[in-house]
Structure 1
Amino acid sequence: MTQDTTPNSPRTVVVTGASTGIGAATARHLAHHGWRVFAGVRKESDGDTLKAGSTGDLRPLIIDVTKPESVESAVKTVADALGGTRLGGLVNNAGIAKIGPLALQPMDEFEAHFEVNVFGLMRTSQAFIPLLGSDPDRSGPPGRIVNITSVGGRLAAPFLGAYAATKHAVEALTDSLRRELMIYGIDAIAIGPGSVKTPIWDKAEEANTDQPYANSDWAGPLKKFEEVMLGGGRTGLEPVEIGQIVQTALEDSSPKPRYAPVPNKLTNWTIPTRLPKRMLDGIFAKRFGISKPD
């Protein structure tokens, strides 16, 4: 059962990180299904490309979640469009992922993951919460926050420690936000996809073209890991499948607190999340050739 999203004026949603991948597919899907979508991009050219491939009411929105002034400007744009009504949803999708062993990964690169994936998400959420329902002067039903996390938010793979750490944080933030924002009727929902056909892993590969860890003790395992991750990213779920789940999270009258769209779910999610950690350590070690010293 879904809530009515087709009153006299359509429900409005903001989607961050909508230039490519999950964000772009979600923005287009929601616009096609009657939502007025503000699709967050950092460049006007990305917005033009996104709008050209969409149907429905899709409006590119310039927003860099790492910059307070950019977020504030985006909020004003959306508030002006809403008039005195409430925002129907905020989909926090903007994120980065870079591969590397934690023992060697530069701290500025590690910190960048948190700046975008965690601090940017919280900056954006706090800024839009008044529009979603905490402002008593606005009318209409309260909106929902949908955070795109990852399998990595529950299962931390080697060489994606920075990314996994941020997604673990977002899982916790989502739960805390949901429990705190009940006073306004604002829901907060996590969607943790497995492998998705998205450019995020191609970007991760490009970042490693100079092979910064080629002479490290992890060179061999890293090569195997990159092959597995990039292969999964090119054969995983279609991004629009995540967009469909976002629509469910926004519209269902009783949404789940967390959705886990994962290919081959039994072997890639159900079993690994139930195995003892030491056993899972051994599986990762065997898969990527990470061996203990003699």
Structure 2
Amino acid sequence: MKTVVITGASTGIGAGAARHLAANGWRVFAGVRKQADGEALTQGASGDLRPILLDVTKPDQVEAAAETVAAALGGERLAGLVNNAGIAKMGPLAIQPMEDFRAHFEVNVFGLLAMTQAFVPLLGSDAARTGPPGRIVNITSVGGRLASPFLGAYTATKHAVEAMTDTLRRELVIYGIDAIAIGPGSVKTPIWDKAEQDNTEGPYAASDWAGSLKRFEEVMLSGGRTGLTPEDIAGYIETALSADKPKARYAPVPDKLTNWTIPTRLPKRLLDRIFWSRFGLKKT
């Protein structure tokens, strides 16, 4: 039985991937932040699904998770680490509180690296372990390649994760460990509902961006309610973990031509004007 560790498995992509992989024969250690989340995750699930308390910003929990997984593996190697935990808070960079900006990096970047460093020995750098080397799958975003207004902190972290994934793949080849990015578009996940709740009574209601931010929220929330399902992304995660020759990056994006292919090829100044027009951003 192949073993995989998934962070941020309380809801959304992480929960969908944990249930999907467990149902398809994987032993899944699913990182959750509360015991109640673990109980909800396993309810109705099939297969070997094991919630573990794991806040990626807490070194003691990261270390404990690595020890738990190592004990379960015996002397074998871990097949996969899926770095999915992440947060998103909307806001104009010019006035977004620094603690909010730092929080994105603590979870989305530093937490991801802490997990990676803790689990690389289990994935393949420990020569005493047996079995094929494992793979790292990092969940990024369309925002890892396309920076939008009002998600500057989030997209900055996802740009960082894209670069880190490429660097890890090029460094960890000495152990046979692969690193793969999955950059979804809109997904039906609570992350954007949480972002809306954060903004309801936030510092931006009276700002110069209030109207544009409201329009942006409506677009993001609509996409989050009509986009791909977490189960759709789970299929890409399983492919990244198990394909004989996986791609370095997967881009599951709804309406891919208009939401990914064209925007990634447009000149940046033209893309600026599209964003300005769509969200009512203009000089007053």
Q: 2 CA distance for matches of 1:44 and 1:242?
A: 25
What is the CA-CA distance between 1:134 and the residue it aligns to? 0.2
Q: Does 1:239 align with 2:230?
A: yes
Q: 1 CA distance for matches of 2:55 and 2:207?
A: 34
Q: 2 CA distance for matches of 1:217 and 1:249?
A: 43
Q: 1 CA distance for matches of 2:177 and 2:148?
A: 32
Q: 2 CA distance for matches of 1:170 and 1:106?
A: 22
Q: Does 1:131 align with 2:122?
A: yes
Moved over 2 A (4+): none
Moved more, 166-175 or 41-50: 41-50
Q: Does 1:19 align with 2:10?
A: yes
After TM superposition, the structure 1 = structure 2 runs for residues 173-188 of structure 1, keeping only pairs within 5 Å, are: 173-188=164-179
Which residue matches 1:195? 186
Corresponding residue to 2:30 among 24, 39, 63: 39
Corresponding residue to 1:168 among 156, 159, 171: 159
Corresponding residue to 1:118 among 93, 106, 109: 109
Q: 2 CA distance for matches of 1:54 and 1:138?
A: 30
What is the CA-CA distance between 1:53 and the residue it aligns to? 2.8
Q: Structure 1-normalised TM-score?
A: 0.96
After TM superposition, the structure 1 = structure 2 runs for residues 1-150 of structure 1, keeping only pairs within 5 Å, are: 10-150=1-141
Which residue matches 2:212? 221
Which residue matches 2:256? 265
SS at match of 2:240: helix
What is the Cα-based RMSD across aligned positions, in Å? Answer: 0.5
Q: 2 CA distance for matches of 1:22 and 1:14?
A: 13
Give CA deviations for 1:13-56 in whole Å, capped at 9, x if unaligned. 00000000000000000001100000000111100110113110
Q: 2 CA distance for matches of 1:255 and 1:181?
A: 16
> Which one-letter code corresponds to 1:203 in the other structure?
K
SS at match of 1:208: helix
What is the CA-CA distance between 1:113 and the residue it aligns to? 0.1
Which residue matches 2:245? 254
Q: 2 CA distance for matches of 1:281 and 1:70?
A: 42
> Which one-letter code corresponds to 1:264 in the other structure?
D
Structure 2, unaligned runs of 5 or more = none
What is the CA-CA distance between 1:212 and the residue it aligns to? 1.9
Q: 1 CA distance for matches of 2:170 and 2:268?
A: 29
Structure 1, unaligned runs of 5 or more = 1-9
Q: 2 CA distance for matches of 1:212 and 1:31?
A: 42
What is the CA-CA distance between 1:214 and the residue it aligns to? 1.1
Give CA deviations for 1:108-153 in whole Å, capped at 9, x if unaligned. 0000000000000000000000000000000000000000000000
* % identical equivalent positions: 74
Matched residues, number: 284
Q: Does 1:210 align with 2:222?
A: no
Moved more, 208-217 or 36-45: 208-217
What is the CA-CA distance between 1:249 and the residue it aligns to? 0.2
Q: 1 CA distance for matches of 2:283 and 2:276?
A: 9
Q: Structure 2-normalised TM-score?
A: 0.99
> Which one-letter code corresponds to 2:19 in the other structure?
R
Corresponding residue to 2:148 among 151, 157, 162: 157
Q: 2 CA distance for matches of 1:211 and 1:253?
A: 47
Q: 2 CA distance for matches of 1:292 and 1:40?
A: 45
Q: Does 1:230 align with 2:221?
A: yes
Which residue matches 1:6? none
Give CA deviations for 1:240-265 in whole Å, capped at 9, x if unaligned. 00000000000000000000000000
What is the CA-CA distance between 1:59 and the residue it aligns to? 0.2
Q: 2 CA distance for matches of 1:78 and 1:214?
A: 45
